[in-house]
Amino acid sequence: MLSNELRTLKSEPNYWCSSMNQFGNLIEEYSSLASASPSLRTLEKISITVSSNIHLNSFMYESILDLTIEHLINLYDEVCSLSAGAINANTNS
């Protein structure tokens, strides 16, 4: 979704982010091109949630979550509404 929107904003249909920190760089580019986008706040929440609250237990190779299930459900619902909006926008054009 984010890559496709950036391709449209940049008028580069073959745009691809080759950075090692893809998500962070994509959000940075997106915020510079579409700072008024309502989806930007949700994308920033995702970035903060993943980088600050999800860790890898190197002994058991399992993820450790430092947040509540309610927080994850709310964030998931926000992401689903973004995806639904993108799908609706693509079918209407």
Model pLDDT for residues 7-54, shown as the tens digit of each residue: 888 888 888 888 777 888 888 888 888 888 888 888 888 888 877 776
Report CA torsion sign: 23, 29, 33, 36: positive
Segment (H or E) for 64 = strand 62-65
Residues pairing with 65 in the sheet: 54
Assess whether pLDDT exceeds 60 at residue 87.
no
Q: Is 37 strand, coil or helix?
A: coil
Residue found by looking up tokens 């600050």 in the block? 52
pTM over 0.85: no
Q: 22: closest CA among 46, 41, 53?
A: 46
State the amino acid at position 47 in one-letter form.
S
